[in-house]
Amino acid sequence: MHVVVFTRSTPDTAAKVEVGKDGAVSWGDAATVVNPWDEYALEEGILQAKNGGGKATVIAIGAEMHNEALKHSLAMGLDEAVRVWDSALEGSDSLAYATAAAAAVNKIGGVDLIICGKESVDVGTDQHIYQIARKLGWTMLSYVSKILAVDYAAKTIKVERLLEQGKQIVTSKLPVVISVMKDINEPRYPSFIGIRKASKAVIPVWSLADLGVTLPETRTKVERFMNLPVREGQVEMIAGTPEEQAAKLVERLLEEKVL
């Protein structure tokens, strides 16, 4: 059995992100880190590969910046890392990414389980996961908060999903694409030896030609990025005893008609 985890790099969540005069997005000298949601996916990949007696491969689609996430993944203990990149993917949309992702999974072959994070915290399009599944023709189970049972021989899986109105228990046949939630596990920190090994690893890059795939036409395009409009009006500080503060606050909220 083989598990594939998808990940990407994002700016550190504490970064101040801004659009410069030239229209480019920058996050100063803040670090680039593995997408925080993907840490749970990576941990689950390691656990499931061990559980099924197989291997776990991590894939990132994107330019060199995404090596950061792959090195972190290797340092955590994933067996292999691959980066998929091709100039034809520059500026393309999720449809193109999903097509390339599905081709990479097919190239690896024998994959029973794909694990993704819930979403990427930067561009946060939250669509790759479903589109990878459709391009592969596999089932998709999103927002998985627990893997209750998995039988790689019988090719079945049972999971708990966290939806808006509550928890759903679902069974499915493998192969399947899942996206995992924060509660599913406690991601490990890379070990010192892991970090050393990862820093030396040479990560292969697969082009579209290597994957033998052509991309669907790009249907959407980002025109520009904009800074947020400045929040008008300064904060009004309400002083006094708690009772006075409360009375004044309620007065204001009634004036604002938000109650």
Partner 1 sequence: MSAVFVWIETFNGAAVSSSWEALGAGRVLADKLGVPLTALVFGENAAAVAGESGTYGADKALVCTDATLNGFRLEPYAALLTQLVQQHAPKAVVAISTARGRELLAASAADTNSGLLTEATSLDISGDGAVKVIRPVYAGKILSEAVGSAAGTQYLLLRGRSFKPGTGSKAAEITTIPAALSEDQIATKIESFEEEVGSVNLTDAAIIVSGGRAMANNPKDAPAGVADAAVWKAQDGFANTLKPLADVLGAAIGASRAAVDAGYIPYAHQVGQTGKTVSPDLYIACGISGAIQHQAGMRSSKVIVAINKDAEAPIFKLARYGLVGDLYQIVPAVTAELKKRLGK
Ligand X SMILES: Nc1ncnc2c1ncn2[C@@H]1O[C@H](COP(=O)(O)O)[C@@H](O)[C@H]1O
Residues 123-182 that bind ligand X (CB under 6 A): 123-129
Footprint on residues 16-75 left by ligand FAD (CB under 6 A): 36
Does 13 sit near ligand FAD (CB under 6 A)? yes
Question: Using CB under 8 A, which of 63, 65, 169, 205 touches partner 1?
Answer: 169
Single-letter residue type at 230: V
Contact pattern from residue 14 through residue 43 relative to ligand X, giving x for each residue in contact according to CB under 6 A and a dash for the rest: ---------------------x-xx--x--
Beta-bridge partners for 9: 34
- Nearest alpha carbon to residue 8 among 42, 49, 47, 56: 42
Smallest gap from Cβ 220 to ligand X, in A, equals 14
Does 250 sit near partner 1 (CB under 8 A)? yes
Footprint on residues 25-84 left by partner 1 (CB under 8 A): 25, 27, 36-37
- CB under 5 to 8 A by kind: which of ligand X, partner 1, ligand FAD, none does 212 bind? none
Single-letter residue type at 1: M
Q: Is-cis flag, bond preceding 36, omega within 30? A: no
Give 220-229 contacts, CB < 8 A, sequence gap 24+: 220/93, 221/91, 221/93, 222/91, 224/23, 225/19, 225/23, 225/24, 225/25, 226/19, 227/18, 227/19
Residues that bind ligand FAD (CB under 6 A): 13, 36
